[in-house]
Amino acid sequence: MVKMSLDPVQVMSGQVKELKVSPSSNGDSRGSWEVKEEFDQDHLGLTTKPKPVSLTKLRARKVEGGVFFPKPENAVTIAVSSRVLFRTEREQRVFEQEGVEEYLRFQIEHENEPFAPGPAFPFVKALEAVNNRLRELYPQSEELFDIVLVTYNHAHVGIRLINTINHHNLFIERFCMTGGSSPIGYLKAWQTNLYLSADAEKVREALSEGIAAATMFMSEKLTEVSQTQLRVAFDGDAVLFSDESERIFKAHGLDKFFEHEREHEDILLDHGPLKGFLEALGKLQKKFYAKGQRLNCPIRTYLVTARSAASSGIRALKTLRAWGLEIDEALFLAGAPKGPMLEKIRPHIYFDDQMFHVEGAAEMGTVAAHVPYGIAQKNNPKKSTSVGK
């Protein structure tokens, strides 16, 4: 099993050959990260090479279009922790071992050294690629992905974060630096559609407040992902749907589960914590469909479930259809491992409520995120399996 931890900023051994480290970095070495073009294209899965757009031109285009800051009610807001967007493991050690004052001093001393990309970096780059396409088709529209960087850091650390964002040519203008306080209240004010963090406790807090959220992980192996098409894969039960069917399986076994699903085939499943995020993705997809670009849509969604198609899959599909949601591809694995399928899909992120499946995905090189919701959280997460996943 691949090595993982709740702090996803692990060293990716054998996967950073394109990365050049010079004498003062934020990783285990002492040098600043110099990210070469090959790193962006290969390690982060930027397999195609679209024409580069400078950050200055991007900002200018947005100003001319009158859409510099989309209103939260119009945007699809993605809140990303600095610990999953960038690699901050060295800084985390300073904080844990030497305290907050030494940590702040360290950050100020190294504020001109950019952080290296973390597990959420390819996902954020893909969001920006979708935004570029949307601006081309709808120059005046505010229906875009809006990325908010969330950090517990003191405002002094903001300079290094801004320097890093500019270094990597990211378009992130909204910051939430809480100085150690919980960010959940701010996430609600931003009308956040998805929150990604390395802090499992804060993820659970967000979910309890009705905010779609997941804990991100990085494995030692990473699969290349597309630069031009955002790919998001979801588990079914306890992610898109409630854990109703999972509870039947846990309490009464496989036969009773199949019987329950047959009897309730025409009764919709209740919604799960990430249904709203899928809805938001679907809303943006339809903007491309309206321009005749269904076959060239830069957003693609996947359902990857351990349900079997004939005996229990029909209820899931009927529920999605009744909700008015489209899934581009649905894989009913009937209990087979998910990792090999995800390796073929190459999603930017995969959501599952069981660590067993998250670890299996990471072992095959997929950036996986844990949704700590439902009955599976009451069992041993590393040994639990599911028929309804």
Catalytic residue set:
235
Which neighbouring-strand residues pair with 370? Answer: 215, 352
CA 240, CA 274: separation in Å to the nearest integer? 5
CB-CB contact of 122 with 367 (8 Å): yes
Neighbours of 380 (CB within 10 A): 9
Distances (CA, A) of 53 to 95, 128, 129, 132, 169: 37, 11, 10, 9, 9
Selection from 56, 172, 40 nearest residue 117 by Cα: 40
- Contact by Cβ (8 Å): 248, 257: yes
Residue 332 structure tokens: 């009913």
Task: Tell me the angle at which helices 121-137 and 275-289 cross, rounded to the nearest 10 degrees.
Answer: 40
- Residues near 208 by Cβ (< 8 Å), separated by ≥ 6? none
